[in-house]
Amino acid sequence: MSVRLREATDAIRRETNGRLDINVFPSGVLGADPALVEQVREGAIAFTANSGAILSSITPLSGIDNVAFAFRDTTSARRAVDGALGALIRSELGKSGFFVFQRPFDTGFRQVTSASRQIRKADDFAGFKIRTPQSRMFYDMFHTLGASPTPVELSSLYVSLQTKLVDGQETPYSFVENAHLFEVQHYLSVTNHAWTGFWLIANPGAWNALPADLRAIAARNFDAAVDQERHDIILQTAALADRLRRQGMTLITDVDVPSMRDKLKPYYARWKAQFGETAWSLLESTTGRLA
């Protein structure tokens, strides 16, 4: 995502002859994700790309694409966020003080890793200390499964695993690789328990202050970056699974997802009530019945 955003901002700079110069700061250089979202809303920075899980602290509906085991595959997830459900999410984020670009980036499905425990079925989560984002939905998901969820900032995750503050964590393949979590985690369970999209949002004042031609050039290049990044993820997922195996991780592919979904029935009922009938119906129009 950072690579494609840098390419997009380079293209924007060239096409506008330097009239619009956007700098990309990856990997938490400007602070933790929740702080970045607030900085965009306040106008301290112009843009951030962030997940629905983080944005849900301000706009609860933005976390609906993280519903546990909702999407069968990447195609169904993208169809949901690119369609009517995504339009509703963008509308709600707009009410919260953000300008939201048309389609989210795709960072892939999230997997569970562990230092000492093989997660194969719902009962394996009992007492498992797992790092989660600062998101009520993820906390509720793993708490309902019987785990002990512990919110930890990504920047502190490696040390938290190394010092046994938590036993495991759940992020996409790319983060496991980039953060070298294979050095402190031995098992990777291919749970595909939640899909993660990253919405590119802007401060509306800063965005609307730009001339129309600059907005059009920026929006076109950012949309192209989404296309390119989504293609990258498809190619990267299979390659990363093999690379993590070669780096010493045991990949567990025979995960009993039905046992987990069955245990999550109360969770689905709670979040259906939280999101409301309209949003939940739009979700289930892609996923099939969840609750």
Torsion sign across C-alpha atoms 251, 257, 263, 266: positive
Whether the pLDDT of residue 291 is over 80: the answer is no
The H-or-E segment that residue 49 falls in is strand 47-51
Picking from 75, 96, 259, 108, the residue whose alpha carbon sits closest to that of residue 197 is: 108
List the domain range (segments joined by +) for residue 117. Answer: 2-279
What's the pTM value of the predicted model, to 2 decimals?
Answer: 0.92
291 lies in a domain?
Answer: no
Contact 144, 266 (CB under 8 A): yes
285 lies in a domain?
Answer: no
209 lies in a domain?
Answer: yes
286 lies in a domain?
Answer: no
34 lies in a domain?
Answer: yes
Number of domains in the chain: 1
- At 142-200, the pLDDT tens digits run 999 999 999 998 889 999 999 999 999 999 999 999 999 999 999 999 999 999 999 99
One-letter amino acid of 158? Y
d(CA 78, CA 228): 14
Q: What pLDDT score was predicted for residue 27?
A: 81
290 lies in a domain?
Answer: no
Residue 64 sits in a domain of what CATH number? 3.40.190.170
Q: What pLDDT score was predicted for residue 134?
A: 85
One-letter amino acid of 228? Q
- At 241-286, the pLDDT tens digits run 999 999 999 999 999 999 999 999 999 999 999 999 999 999 999 9
Contact 287, 80 (CB under 8 A): yes
Phi, psi values for residue 66, rounded to 5°: -95, 5
67 lies in a domain?
Answer: yes
In this structure, the strands spanning 105-114 and 187-189 are antiparallel
7 lies in a domain?
Answer: yes
